[in-house]
Amino acid sequence: MSKYSILAVVLVMVITNIIAIPYQMHAQPLTQGNAITGIKVGGHPYAIAVDPKTNIIFVAGILPRKIFTIDGSSNRQINTISLSNTPAFNAGTKILPKIAREYSTKIFPNIAGESPSIAVSATTGLAFFAYSDSETLHVIDGSQGYVVTNDTLNGMVAGLGADPDPNFSYIYAVVNGQNNNTIYKINAFYNSEDRATQLANNDILAAVAVGPQQLGTGDKLVYVIGQKLNNVYILNSSSLKLEGSISIKNESIQDPRLWDIAINQNTNKVYVTGHLSNSVYVINGYTNKLTKTIPVGLNPDGIAVNPNTNMIYVANSAANTISVIDGTTENVVRTIQVRGDNPRGIAVNPNTNLIYVANALSGTVSVINGMTNNVMAGISFNINPASGTGGIYCTNGQKILNSSDYIYDINTILDCEARPNTGFTFGAWSGDLASFNSNDSPIIQFPVTRYGSLTAIFTQQTPVTIPAAFWAPLYALIPGFFVPSIIRWLNDRRQRGHLNKHIDIIEREHPELETINKEIEKLYVDGKLSDSHYKLLKDKISEHYKTDANK
């Protein structure tokens, strides 16, 4: 083999390893030991959004491109939607205008150039998805779990934002084109363009967010990130007229790489993450002035706000942490180890005060308790057999029903007891948490450190029965022994009753002895008086006759 052949083989091996190894390293969800530390959705979850009204969480994945939906009540995945295998996608519905042209490639600072965006319409219950290397806008019905339609925009969709006001149903999409950039205002009810305008053609647009109504005017402002020029553009939500821009500068770094944006609708403060500056920039929505720069973790990406608690959550993608900012003091009050790899997207459900984090390289979604700022884990409880056999009762008397998922703060200590219903006994525990019980006791205690399952197995009690061979001799004795004895006892009792009655009559002061004598004779003839009783009564009558004669 020539030296050139050997060099070629080595080169192929190097290239193969460079391409294959990173994918293999992150192909499986991140685990601690064999413990799943988040809601496993698969693929590479990147963007995430919550519909507070339906409590459905939407997750957009890459490699492959799939949409996952999670039920916020059980924190269990309910649907997986493949965008390339839907009738709507194949039909290619185009209701928004498109100018046919070849687009030049723009360098986007995102994984594989296909960063997804999500916006949820609070009024329609529809979720809108797009990828930064595609012109397609996917519209999904979250409750039904399918693609409603796919629209085509005039360029690559870089960001989506929804008006959070339930009285409005507008979605805003920012698009990067070859020669110009466009922002679309879309009516989510009719899935149609309301208006569009060109914006910052010399910049690269990224995220977009809608603020609250402005004092005195009633109008709203739309904020759009420009990554190339480090600007935040401000537009009127009704007319899409550009009203100004804010230049974000950082003394320590020339390119802060603005990444994501979130707005507190109650305080009208705008928060922007700087991916390369490791900062969050605070803008006063009333004055549209930059007021503060808050240092956070390494490479902050997604940002979300809970307007009810005035807490801001930042996903630090390279640190695998979440920075929690108090909106009042504008300081980081907690840094949470997210237990996931490469947290990118983050969303808050203000109604439940739960925070959801999309971990791009671990294939999981982490859940954080907004009240305690602790990562949470779900336990799946089951009963076997499932119907009417018993129940599981955990700490504080909480009854766990069959096939129920409960989510707890990490490191919570649970004390659970399996209680059988009448006719059943406890058999054993099963599931990956059963190892905490070594003696098959119905009581089990374990710390919540990961997602897991626990099943209580009950067995039916067998009634104690006496064989028929044992009872057969007794059945034979009953007619021959017990029945005659009972009859004799009853007759004797009746006869004693007649005896006592007539003795009482005879011993009265002036008894009708003739009448009494006739009754006694009749009772004796009818067999209702025994010989001894008859003789006793006759003697009583004779004594009474003698007494009367001596008077």
pLDDT of residue 530: 75
Confidence of residue 29 (pLDDT cuts 50, 70, 90): very low
Residue 524 is assigned to a structural domain of this protein: yes
In a domain, 255, yes or no: yes
The reply to whether 391 and 307 lie within a common domain is no
Same domain, 357 and 389: no
Secondary structure percentages of the chain, helix, strand, coil, to 5? 20, 45, 35
Q: Is residue 456 part of a domain?
A: yes
Same-domain pairing of 499 and 351:
no
Same-domain status, 75 and 208: yes
Same domain, yes or no, for 433 and 490? no
**Alpha carbon distance 120, 513 (integer Å):** 110
Q: In this structure, are 545 and 445 located in the same domain? A: no
Q: How confident is the model at residue 13 (pLDDT cuts 50, 70, 90)?
A: very low
Is 490 a residue whose pLDDT tops 90? no
For residue 392, list its beta bridge partners.
400, 418
For the chain, the domain total comes to 3
Average pLDDT over residues 31-45: 67
In a domain, 5, yes or no: no
Provide the 3-class DSSP secondary structure of residue 331. Answer: strand
Q: How many Cα neighbours within 13 Å face the side chain of 43?
A: 18
- Gap between the Cα atoms of 63 and 46, Å rounded: 10
Of 87-91, 127-131, 132-136, 389-393, least confident by mean pLDDT is: 87-91
**One domain for residues 426 and 511:** no
Beta bridge partners of 443: 417
Residue 119 lies in a domain: yes
Q: Is the pLDDT of residue 424 over 60?
A: yes
Supply the CATH number for residue 51's domain: 2.130.10.10
Question: Cα(171)–Cα(160) distance, rounded to whole angstroms?
Answer: 7
Q: Are 63 and 203 members of one domain? A: yes
Whether 430 and 505 map to the same domain: the answer is no
Is the same domain home to 198 and 342?
Answer: yes
141 domain-assigned: yes
> Closest by alpha carbon to 343, among 30, 119, 132?
30
State the pLDDT confidence band at 115, using cuts at 50, 70 and 90. confident
Supply the pLDDT for residue 166: 81
Single residue among 419, 438, 460 that ends a domain in this structure: 460
> Final residue of a domain: which of 371, 399, 429?
371
Q: What pLDDT sits at residue 498?
A: 63
Regarding whether 223 and 94 lie in a shared domain, the answer is: yes
pLDDT at 45 over 60: yes
Taking the CB of residue 2, how many other CB atoms lie within 10 A of it? Answer: 7
Q: How confident is the model at residue 183 (pLDDT cuts 50, 70, 90)?
A: very high
Domain residues for the domain of 455 are 379-460
Query: 371, 395, 425 — which closes off a domain?
Result: 371
Q: Domain check: are 262 and 404 in the same one? A: no
pLDDT in tens, 270-280: 999 999 999 99
pLDDT given for residue 85 in this prediction:
42
User: Within a domain: residue 165?
Assistant: yes
Residue 466 forms part of a structural domain: no
Give dist(CA 307, CA 367) in Å, integer.
18
**Residue 249: per-residue pLDDT:** 82
